[in-house]
């Protein structure tokens, strides 16, 4: 993936990832705070400072390893903490916190598309905005996959019957390895069609 990119294109991708990741995580924290849980706020996660959301392994070391091995970055931000006992509306409150992150990426994609189609840019800025839009559409779709620890799992959990909730809770410690494995074997390739569909519906 990165092998065919120029230095400037890689910089655009990194900046886009940082902006998208920071807003995604800060939105989780902000919605949690609005729903009565101050856990993330007390941890300083309602912040646009990237350092507040960077995990040394998942945000820094893991993408370096996957770029070297697979020419593609795989990374995650530091999880936003929340206390389910303090969140309004119980499990549904938890679902609202979870879905807020992907929705922030959808909003960023919409804003990027509006800017791209409303103003005249040179080829570099137009390409940079296109990268930003596609990245955020991809983050919106990917994070809604209902596999722990992705946000979609928390949404599913709120509406799932108790046996499925227990199964999801048991699977959660291994969820990231499942996601990682599926990415490596191309198990999420069908998501490209959904991402393209989302992009096509943007302004």
- Whether 25 is catalytic is yes
Q: Report the residue count for the chain.
A: 203
Which candidate in 9, 25, 42, 162 is catalytic? 25
3-state SS, the chain, equals: CCCCCCHHHHHHHHHHHHHHHHHHHHHHHHHHHHCCCCHHHHCCCCCCCHHHCCCHHHHHHHHHHHHHHHCCCCCCCCCCCCCHHHCCCHHHHHHHHHHHHHHHHHHHHHHHHHHHHHCCCCHHHHHHHHHHHHHHHHHHHHHCCCCCCCHHHHHHHHHCCHHHHHHHHHHHHHHHHHHHHHHHCCCCCCHHHHHHHHHHHCC
CB 147 within 8 A of CB 153: yes
Q: Looking at the annotation, which residues are catalytic?
A: 25
């Amino acid at each position: 993936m990165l092998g065919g990119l120029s230095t400037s294109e890689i910089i655009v991708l990194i900046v886009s990832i940082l902006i998208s990741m920071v807003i995604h995580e800060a939105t989780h924290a902000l919605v949690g705070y609005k729903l009565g849980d101050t856990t993330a706020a007390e941890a300083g996660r309602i912040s646009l400072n990237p350092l507040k959301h960077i995990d040394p392994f998942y945000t820094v070391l893991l993408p370096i390893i996957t770029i070297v091995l697979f020419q593609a970055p795989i990374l995650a931000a530091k999880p936003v903490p929340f206390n389910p006992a303090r969140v309004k509306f119980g499990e549904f409150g938890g679902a609202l916190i979870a879905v807020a992150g992907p929705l922030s990426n959808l909003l960023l994609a919409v804003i990027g598309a509006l800017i791209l189609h409303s103003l005249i840019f040179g080829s570099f800025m137009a390409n940079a905005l296109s990268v930003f839009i596609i990245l955020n559409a991809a983050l919106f779709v990917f994070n809604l996959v209902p596999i722990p620890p992705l946000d979609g799992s928390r949404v599913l959990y709120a509406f799932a019957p108790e046996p499925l909730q227990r199964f999801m809770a048991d699977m959660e410690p291994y969820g990231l390895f499942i996601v990682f494995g599926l990415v490596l074997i191309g198990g999420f390739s069908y998501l490209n069609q959904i991402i393209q569909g989302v992009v096509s519906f943007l302004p």
